[in-house]
Amino acid sequence: MNGAAAIELLDVRKQFGATRIIQGVNLSVRQGERLAIIGPNGAGKSTLFNLISGRFPLTSGRIRLNGQDITGLPPYRINRLGLSRSFQVTNIFHRMSVYENIRCGVLWSLGYKYSFWHPVNRLRDVQRRAEETMERIGLARRRNVQAGVLSYAEQRALEIGITIAGGAEVILLDEPTAGMSRTETAQAVELIRTVTEGKTLIMVEHDMGVVFGLADRISVLVYGEVIATDTPEAVRANPAVQEAYLGGMHKEAAA
């Protein structure tokens, strides 16, 4: 883990009409670090992701990816610079097979861009990378199944697969375990741990318990402001966090 910042947010603000959703967020994530952003519903976690990944324009502030200013760039540009994200609501290519879904995530990163002269079935490097990715997310045996008919947990795994397929160095996962059972969640966390090995990971999570063993640091977002960024233990012990987010429930446990 070296000290250079993979992602830097400088006084990032976002307003929808008169409503201030993100109110001056400053955040720095080192390369190779795993950061979890937690917070109650409506805190602006997903909005923050949408700002970083270029889905929405910022109202003000700057965002840097590996030192390069990416403020205002369209999503595909940011993706090409090595940042890839998943979505809270499963966002896959439903009519395509698992293999084709993963392949969509691979093509640009291997330099095939808008090529209309390469026969895609004969691209060994694309095939290899797609196979590897399917193996890692545990969907290799489902390769020919149409994505739309996969089980929910499988679709979530595929969502992560598309996100990591391009080999991006910075991975943003938006509530990857949303709607999963306890067992499925545990499996998903293990999956996230292995596939983001050596990469910078930022993930949004509603439930602090999920990220406790996974994240190096946790940022707590409340009403569009980061009220604390620290190690999981310190965050859990932080009285302000307990007040705002945990509602004092864990006071005794933390003590």
Partner 1 sequence: MSTLRYRPLDLGRWIVWGATALLFALAPLMSDASFVLTLLSQMGILIIFALSYNMLLGQGGMLSFGHAVYSGLGAYFTVHALNLVGKGAFWFPVTLLPLVGGLAGLAFGLIFGYVTTKKSGTTFAMISLGIGEMVYACVLMFPAFFGGEGGISTNRVVGEPVLGLTYGPALQVYYLIAAWAFVSMAAMFALTQTPLGRMANAVRDNPERAEFVGYNTQRVRYLQMCLSAFFAGVAGGLSCINYEIVSAENVSALRSGGVLIATFIGGVGLFFGPILGAIVFTLFAIALSGFTKAWLLYLGLFFLAMVLYAPGGLAWLIAIQIPVLRARRFSELLWPYALALAAGLMLLCGLIGAVEMIYHLSLESAEESVIALAGLEVDVRALPSWLAVGALLAAGGVAMRHASRFVSARWHAIQQDIQRGAA
Crossing angle of helices 182-195 and 124-136, in 10° steps, is: 140
135-174 footprint of partner 1 as x/- string (CB under 8 A): ---------xxx--x------------x--xx--------
Residue in 15, 66, 88, 109 binding partner 1, rule: CB under 8 A: 109
Residue in 13, 20, 62, 80 binding partner 1, rule: CB under 8 A: 80
Residue in 57, 68, 72, 118 binding partner 1, rule: CB under 8 A: 118
Q: Taking the alpha carbons of 27, 28, 29, 34 in that order, is the dihedral positive or negative?
A: negative
Distance CA 3, CA 86 (A): 25
Asked if 41 touches partner 1 (CB under 8 A), the answer is: no
Distance CA 139, CA 133 (A): 9
Q: Which helix (H) or strand (E) is 81 found in, with range?
A: none
Shortest Å distance, C-beta 193 to partner 1: 22
Residue in 37, 38, 46, 93 binding partner 1, rule: CB under 8 A: 93
Which residues have C-beta within 8 Å of that of residue 183, sequence separation ≥ 6? Answer: none
State how far Cα 126 lies from the chain centre. Answer: 23
Q: Could you tell me if 59 and 33 are in contact, meaning their C-beta atoms sit under 8 angstroms apart?
A: no
Residues 49-68 that bind partner 1 (CB under 8 A): 53, 55
Tell me which amino acid residue 62 is. Answer: R
Asked if 212 touches partner 1 (CB under 8 A), the answer is: no
Asked if 128 touches partner 1 (CB under 8 A), the answer is: no
Instruction: State the number of binding residues for partner 1 (CB under 8 A).
Output: 42
Q: Could you tell me if 199 and 214 are in contact, meaning their C-beta atoms sit under 8 angstroms apart?
A: no
C-beta of 78 vs 208, nearer to partner 1: 78
Distance CA 80, CA 126 (A): 17
C-beta of 108 vs 223, nearer to partner 1: 108
Binding site for partner 1 (CB under 8 A): 53, 55, 74-76, 79-80, 84-85, 87, 91-97, 99-100, 103-105, 107-109, 112-121, 144-146, 149, 162, 165-166
